[in-house]
Every structure is written in structure tokens, then in C-alpha cells.
Amino acid sequence: MQRLEVLDGLRGYFLVFMVLNHLTFSGGYLLVKLNHGELGYVQDAPGFVFLSGLLMGQVYGARMKKHGYKAGASKIYHRVFELYRYTAGCLLAIIALGFLLTESSVYWEPWLWQLARNDWGFALAAAALLYQPTYMDILPQYIVYLALSPPLVWLCVTGRWRKVVIGSWMLWLGVQFGIHLPLASAIDAVMGALYPGLVLRAHFNVLAWQIVFVGGLVLGCLASTGQLNWQRVFDPTRRGLVEASLCIVLFFMIWRLGMTWELFPEAMQARLRTLEIRAEFSMMFLLNFAALSYLVAWLIIGGVRSDSPLARQAGEGLRALFTLPFLRLIGRHSLQVYAWHVLVIYLLKAVDYHQGPFNELTKTAIAASAVASLAIPALLKEHRAAAAAVIAEP
């Protein structure tokens, strides 16, 4: 299947802003404020997870339809083991750096907790994906989704995608009502009994965030098997959903800016904070994400064919942005680039601790260099692939 360049570019875009959002300096830095996340409740992680599900549905849905369930499932499980190797390798690299860098237990402690003290019990829990250091948590989450996805892909391929959607929605809804809390408490109790102080540590609730991945997976499967036509879904003459999505996006933008600039009374801010549960992907995050995703997709696919000059210009601008060679390069190798970005963020935390504080210009230069460095693992991957292709030639 030919890859869609805009999807690679989108993944690259999210990787760039993950670097900017995860990078920390003493006193903060201004560049991070130039961010779509400041204009609403849509950030990079859900977009990255959604696109991963979408591409997986497209690739493995087509494979299962053509070659059967086992052919597709075996490829998925191979991908699971590959992801685990990168996750474990990233963890081992951070632990090794902790021995080499002076005072790493001080500046990494908020991200690693007891792992910063090189505690073997917590290291084993991290290897089992139960104790996830900060910024390494998307990979374990993705591993879980991939491992459970073969039957879901098969259901979509065989026309039973509605069952997958309903199951995903019910699971997400259950989390919003706390159905997961007894299970989490039981896991904490077992882990604490096995090793003192050990608890389940994961920033993202996999039972809630699965709705993003599964949503992408279902759409990808339907598109790859001919059950969904993107041109019809994003018909430029049908603007009802576009206008509704725009209203929702603007609504959440007003609330987000109001909270940032403290324009609302404290009672309203307190109410909003109770709804803003990112770890469980609460309703405000889901609605904002769905609306913005539809709006962007419509502009890229339907807007460029619209009779509205503004829609055409917006769609063409987004296409130009998401097809930038740099973004497509790092998006094609998102797994390797994501693991690289974790190491870069941890290393730059050490630099800031030992060499900082820096002025704003230096912080901007460091951030730009960190973003540029994302090309390193992608180029190395493509170089190895090219070398292997030459060797394979007769």
C-alpha cells in the first residue's frame, strides 16, 4: 500500500511539538507557547495515537483482507516485539546514563521516581510496563493496543466494525464513571506486596485512551477495505458537520484562553478543572479532539475542492505544511524518532541543570537544535534500509 505523505507529515508535526512540550528549562521558555495546545484541549499525544491506529488499520486491514487473519496477526505481533525492544532499550539507555551523569538522581527524580535511585525492583516493574517513566509512556500504551488489536482488525475487515466501536465507547464511558478504580487499587496492592513501595505508574489510562486508537483503527480498516470513501465523507458541498466542528473548536478555544489569562471567576475555573482530566481523556478532550480532527481533515481533503476561497487557501496551506520533507522524514520513522526524542529530553535536562539557567535566545537555539536532531535516527534508518537493498540486489 502506498503511504499517504500527509499522514507521515502529520506524525512528524506531532513529534516536533512533543519535543517542544517535553523540553524543560529553568524558568520555562517562550517558544513552547507557540503551540496549538495553547488554543484548546487538543495536544500532540492523542493525534499521534490516533494516526498510529489509522495507519495500522490501513496496513493490516488490507493485509488481513487479502491474506487472512493469521498473516495480518503475525505481522502485528512482530511489530509488538519490535516496539518492546525499543521501549526496553530506551529504558536501559536512561538507566546507564544515570550512572554516568553526576547528580542525575536529583534532576531526573520527578520523571523517574525510584528509578532515579537505580532500584532494581522498580526497574523490573518498568520492564514489565507497569512502572512507566515520564515521556516513555506512549510506547507501552501502544504495545498494549497493538497486542490486543488483531481480533479488532478482523472484526472490521469482516464488516463487524460497529461492535468494535460500541465496545470502545462503552469502555471509555466506564472509565469516566470510575469502573477502573477497583482494578487499579487491586494492582497497586499486589505490586506493593511483591515489593515495598511499588505502585502502578502510567500517565495515560489505557482503558480510556483506547478510544482514540480504536477510532483510528476502525477508520483505517474501513478505508483499506473499500467500506469508506474519504472523498465522500469530506464532500466540500456538505458543510453541516464542518460548521458544527468549527463552533466546538471555537468554544473550547474561548475556555482555554480564558483559563490561561484567568478571565473567568474562580468558581468557573474550579468547575472547569474538575472536567479537565487528561489522563482519562475526559469528555472535553474527546469532543475537542473529534471536532478539530474532522475540521482539519475536511480542509485537507474537501476544503481544497471547495468553492470557498478561504477554505481552499486553508486546505492548501495545511497540505503544504504536512508535506514538508522534514516532517515526512521523521514521520516515516516515528518509532525510532520517538525513542530518540526521549533520550534528547533527558540529556537536555542534565545540560540545563549543570550549565543553566540560559537566556531566552539560548533556550530557543537549544530547542531548535533538539527538533533538528530528530532527523538523525530517521536518516540512519533510511541509510540502513538503502544499504540492505543494495546488498539484496543480485
pLDDT, tens digit, 9 for 90 and up, residues 115-128:
888 788 898 999 99
How is residue 134 annotated by DSSP? T
What is the total count of domains within the chain? 1
Q: Which amino acid is at 371?
A: V
Cα 80 to Cα 31, 104, 145, 150, 181: the distances in Å are: 35, 31, 9, 11, 27
Cell matching residue 40? 484548546
Does 224 map to a domain? yes
pTM over 0.85: yes
Alpha carbon 57 to chain centroid, angstroms = 16
Residue 146: how many CB atoms within 10 A of its CB?
23
Phi and psi at 51, nearest 5°, equal -65, -35
Confidence of residue 67 (pLDDT cuts 50, 70, 90): very high
Does 173 map to a domain? yes
pLDDT, tens digit, 9 for 90 and up, residues 162-186:
999 999 999 999 999 999 999 999 9
Q: What is the pLDDT of residue 1?
A: 37
What is the mean pLDDT of the segment spanning 253-276? Answer: 93
Q: What is the dihedral of CA 383, 388, 390, 392, to 10 degrees?
A: -170
pLDDT at 392 over 70: no
Does 303 map to a domain? no
Does 382 map to a domain? no
pLDDT, tens digit, 9 for 90 and up, residues 357-370:
999 999 999 999 99
Does 202 map to a domain? yes
Do the beta carbons of residue 222 and residue 156 sit within 8 Å? yes
pLDDT at 383 over 80: yes
Does 269 map to a domain? no
Q: What is the pLDDT of residue 2?
A: 41
Residue 39: domain span: 5-228+329-372
Alpha-carbon distance of 94 to 374, in angstroms, equals 18
Does 203 map to a domain? yes
Alpha-carbon distance of 163 to 86, in angstroms, equals 33
Q: What is the pLDDT of residue 385?
A: 85
Alpha-carbon distance of 110 to 88, in angstroms, equals 20
Q: Exposed (0-12), middle (13-18) or buried (19+): which is 240, by Cβ within 10 Å?
A: exposed
Contacts for 50 with CB less than 8 Å, ≥ 6 apart: 212, 213, 215, 216, 289, 293
Does 316 map to a domain? no
Alpha-carbon distance of 204 to 180, in angstroms, equals 13
When mean pLDDT is compared across 226-235, 285-294, 323-332, the lowest value belongs to 226-235
